[in-house]
A and B are shown apart, each in its own frame.
Chain A
């Protein structure tokens, strides 16, 4: 059954259809949530809440074909709330801690990639919430600026402007070898 059909079944309270949609999106939603939140604990909360809200409010979705964007819309709003909550609370343990890439061909390449990932990751962490979410939706989820505008409930021009400012900021924050030459890819 296609995605729109599963959404229709979910709207009728079919939990099996919800389970299939969950399997289709769990990794993408969970990882996006972790990237936006900057840590796994908040990412888990966001992803869990996103799926819960999607199930409970699925009748609000008018076009079943738009489920993917609607899901990301819920994720974005939930992440925004969690980010606001986190700001008011004590700093978390290791927010934006470094991840170690899983596979690489040589130890040197692994090390270089880890350093590069860390530098980019730290720079992304310094972006404002809206810029960070835009960057993640654009570069990680590969959504178009139009799709991001739909997800973030804003004008496409705003998305382009956020991307432009974010790129400018990242260039400033990243070492020149990372932002311009990308030498690690040449290794």
Chain B
């Protein structure tokens, strides 16, 4: 460092000024809260999927019109993943595809502004009604962001089940069926007692109640699902205002 009078003066003044700033006692607490919040947002998505699978299995026996996807033998699925991306560079996608054993059609950026944000791996276990693991598999989650909005593109090896009753809209494009579902979700703390109305909505499949949140939150999720011979693909948006057509456009952009 250059040591002259000016340097000394500036240095002393900056130190004097800096000494007047005291780290707030609650700053760490606020950071921890923010970290917990960001982890919760990610966990919410996983919990949603678990509960949704369980709800789908519950009505499976009484409904007949199931969508063509096969293999929905599990009563529910437990998914586990880290809130920290496994890879943060899009260039690592090929490596991850090899690790998980599934080919994705992910792109780096969509024309509507959503851009690649990270690569996650979710470790899933399909359970039967007695809680026994019947199938283990990993899936790739590709996260995209646009401002504060986040969407996920999830790719699971094989074909996963989807209930006809869940489908809000169906699109057939070039011989491939795309299923759009829109779900009302209620994230609630453990031990929460649903009201009679909420229970009725859940029983009728109009509401998905997910336990484990720190406070009651109502969120709408939108999902577009399609399958090819080797994998099931899902575009998933929680509390993001995207129409079915916009999700379909994004899916087609990846083909």
Contacts and interface: CB of A to CB of B under 8 A. Distances in A.
A178 interface: yes
A142 B53 CA distance: 56
What DSSP secondary structure best describes chain A's contact surface?
Answer: helix
B95 interface: no
A13 B82 contact: yes
A102 interface: yes
Interface in B5-32: 5-21, 23-24, 27-28, 30-32
Contact of B84 (A13, A48, A101, A174): A13
A87 B12 CA distance: 28
B252 interface: no
Contacts, number: 119
B161 interface: no
B20 A102 contact: yes
B229 to A, nearest CB: 33
Interface residues of B, number: 34
Nearest to A114: B16
A30 interface: yes
A25 B160 CA distance: 47
B21 A52 contact: no
Interface residues of A, number: 53
Nearest to B89: A60
Contacts of A27: 23
Nearest to A39: B21
Contact of A48 (B11, B19, B31): B31
Contacts of A15: 32, 35
Contacts of A58: 84
A52 B6 CA distance: 36
B20 to A, nearest CB: 3
B11 A121 contact: no
Interface stretch (A72-80, A131-139, A150-158): A131-139
Interface in A43-80: 43-44, 47-48, 51-52, 55-60
Given A31-B21, A116-B13, A56 B5 contact: no
B85 interface: yes
Given A99-B16, A117-B16, A120-B10, A26 B84 contact: no
A88 interface: no
B88 A57 contact: yes
A16 B35 CA distance: 13
Given A47-B27, A52-B34, A56-B35, A99 B17 contact: yes
15 contacts: A13-B84, A15-B35, A22-B28, A22-B31, A31-B18, A52-B34, A59-B88, A117-B16, A120-B13, A121-B17, A135-B14, A139-B11, A144-B1, A174-B6, A179-B6
Interface of B: 1, 5-21, 23-24, 27-28, 30-32, 34-35, 38, 82-86, 88
What 10 pairs between A and B have smallest CB-CB spacing?
A99-B20, A120-B13, A101-B16, A31-B18, A140-B14, A34-B21, A182-B5, A117-B13, A139-B11, A117-B16
Interface of A: 11, 13, 15, 19, 22, 26-27, 30-32, 34-35, 40, 43-44, 47-48, 51-52, 55-60, 99-102, 113, 116-117, 119-121, 124, 135-136, 138-140, 142, 144, 167, 170-171, 174, 178-182, 185
